[in-house]
Each structure stands twice: as structure tokens, then as C-alpha cells.
Chain A
């Protein structure tokens, strides 16, 4: 089995609280690159990074176009842009039309990351109020990556995890509290 090298995480409504609790329990020694797409409505990416950094065991930064995805860093998609991963594993941005009514769109991040990292990727879909991320998670699985979905009944907004399960299925479907321990297990040698 391939050791995962990158993790992509998507969420919307209720996502900030979910991410805070997830990041608080990640092992600070994780070597993987992490990229997050969270529809925040009006919150700027600066604020989002600031709030997440308070709780995270790992450094949190805004994802910058053309910069490599760094191991052991949580990169956050900027507001108003799609975040993509090129096959050279550097970030790219676009202001193309919204996908699933969202920009940044989880589908866009997941689909491009799946092609860049192939089977070395883990995709995580958490609480959220629409179906963004479902197509992306399917792509992650098609490229051989691992899919983790928050148990819809455990999510503040079940629509997003439910849509992901329906469209893509999952390798693991768990309550939020169990996701960080699972990531630590999958990601540490």
C-alpha cells in the first residue's frame, strides 16, 4: 500500500468548528502536505487562517499560487478563487466560474489534487450544506486515493457528507472525533 503524501479536506457550513477540532488532534509530526477548501461565506482567508492556527498542531498558511505544497503544513484556499494542484504539485489559482455554486470549490481542489498525487492522496469530506466535493471525492477514489467522509448524522450539516457518500462511497465513514486519530494512523509510518 502506498504511503499517503498529501491530504485534501473540504467542508462548508459548520466547517470552521469541525476543522478546529480536527486540526487540534492531528499529530504535529505529520509529514504530509495538507490543503483545505472551506466555503466561508464572507470570512476572509486571513481570518480563517488566524482562527485555525489557534487550534492547529501544524502551521497554517494561505495557499499561494505557484508555491509547492509543503509537507507538514496546512494550506488554506483563498476566498474568491478556485485552488488547484498542478501535476508538479504546485498550487494554481483560477477565477473561472463557480462550480457547485462555490469558488473556491472542493471539487476543483480534489479533482486536480487527485491527478497530481494519484494513489498517495487522502480526501476528507466534512460537514457542509451542499453537494460540492462529491465529484471530487469520486475522482480521488478513481485515482487510487483514500476517501474519508464524516458520518452525516454526526455532522452539523449532513448534506455534504451524504452527497459524497452517495456519489463516491468511502473507504472510511466516521464521526469527526475519530477522523484525526485515523489520519494519524494512516499517515505516520
Chain B
């Protein structure tokens, strides 16, 4: 057994926790954004990360800025938002959507899709491409929502770092893409801009899963890796919101590592492809005409 140099000292962890709680409380009281039902461990990391990025000595300093500097709100929301995804992330999921879900959606004269928590829009454009290649896009309406205005603006622009294109192209092909991803964007300098025609049937709208209600009738709800940030009750509330938004036999697609084991509302859904977290509203057999 080696006795080694010990440069560890006991920090006052509870102090961090108190300050984070006050910050979250201030955000709710001052602006109505409610993060009190978020999963604590990752929320804590994000708040501390925000303090670090803002060169704030303490989280309390963030709270002061939040209360007294209106232009700090978007910065704070950006730091606490759904992180950025990639195009066709988990290609096998998009392949399953292409092969198992779109053929069913094709039977509807008008298709409504809700992408909840769209962040910077990578998955919205992925969906649009999928629908375009299936010949369904012209009768589809995609609602892409997020609570974060600056993320919505990003998503609307569809401009991303060019260094991402290589991975996204690989994903696109693995997802059963029929062309090359480059057919859908133009590259300039260090950026790529997605074909604006892909946006023609997308409505970007501000919607907060924590506080807002049903706003459309959807045939497919896509919400991947958002619920992982929610505590059990908020996850359950959100699933109920999806249930109430979906038509009978409508589809729900979640993140591939998301678990419904602690959500009573999950009993409303039947797995279509459990490994890829694709479900259908209603008991087994629903939607079989």
C-alpha cells in the first residue's frame, strides 16, 4: 500500500447546491422558465459549466446577472437547453422510420409531424430529407418546437460547421439515403447551409414541454434525448402530452437509451421497434385496418 501525496480538501458541496437551487428559482420567478423538474445531476453540471463559461466566480453571480441584466436570459437558456444533435444520429433509427413508419404515414392524405425539442434543427432537416425521398414531403407539415428562441433561429437558418458534414454524410448513407447528403447543402468557407427548400413545410414554433399544452394533432412525434433530462413526474407529464397530441395509431420516437420503466403513461404506447424506441399509440393491434 502506497501513501501518496494528498492534495484533496473537503469542499462545501452543499453551498453549490444551495446556489444552484436559488439560480433555478430565480429563473422561474423572474421569467417563468421552470427547470425545477429537471434531472438534478446533469442540470447541476450545466449550471456550473455556464458559470465557468461566463467567468462567474460563483453561481450566485449568475443569479444576480439573471435578475438585473435582461440580455443575460438568452445566454442562460442556451446553457440549459437541449444540446445540439447531429444529422441522422443513430442512423438505424432513421432507417427504421423510413422502412416501418413512413409506409404507414403514406396512407394519410395529410401528415403532421411534431419534433419536440428541436435544438439547432439537425433532426428536422433529417426528417425533411427522409420524407422528400419517400415522396411524402409535399403533404407533410412538420412542427419543430423548442423553448429556446436562439435555438429556433439557428434551426431556421440551417447553417452548420462544415467539419460535421463528413460524419453526417456517413450517417445519411447508413440511414438508407438515396443520394449523397451533399445534394442537400451548399458549402461555403467553413460552413454548410442546408437547402432552404427543405424548410418549406416546417413551422418553427416556441413551445415549452414543461409548461405548454397540446397544440396540434400529430401522426408522428419525434422527441429524442430530451426526456433523459426530465425527472420522473415531468417525463410522465410529457408522455401524456405526446399521447394527447397523437392520432389513434400515431407513432412516437424517443432516444435509443431512454427508459419508460418509471412512466405510468408509457402503458398507452405499444413498441413497434423497442430497440430503436419507436412506439405506437394504443394497445397491440391498434391501427390495423
Contact = CB atoms under 8 A, between A and B. Distances in A.
Which of B8, B229, B255 has the most A CB atoms < 10 Å from its CB?
Answer: B8
Given A92-B41, A96-B46, A138 B8 contact: yes
Nearest to A116: B41
B88 to A, nearest CB: 14
Nearest to B224: A95
A66 B45 contact: no
Interface in B81-95: 83, 85
A65 B259 contact: yes
Contacts of A168: 7-8
Which range holds the interface residue count of chain B?
Answer: 20 to 34
A172 B1 contact: yes
Chain A interface main SS type: mixed
Given A85-B41, A138-B8, A142-B9, A93 B257 contact: yes
B6 interface: yes
B262 interface: yes
A67 interface: yes
Given A84-B42, A141-B8, A143-B13, A64 B83 contact: no
Interface in A164-183: 165, 168-174
A141 B5 CA distance: 12
B40 interface: yes
Interface in B108-150: none
Interface residues of A, number: 35
17 contacts: A78-B257, A81-B257, A84-B42, A86-B40, A86-B41, A92-B41, A94-B83, A95-B225, A112-B45, A142-B10, A144-B10, A165-B4, A168-B7, A169-B5, A169-B8, A171-B4, A172-B2
Given A66-B232, A78-B257, 7 more contacts: A92-B228, A94-B228, A95-B85, A96-B46, A108-B45, A169-B4, A169-B8
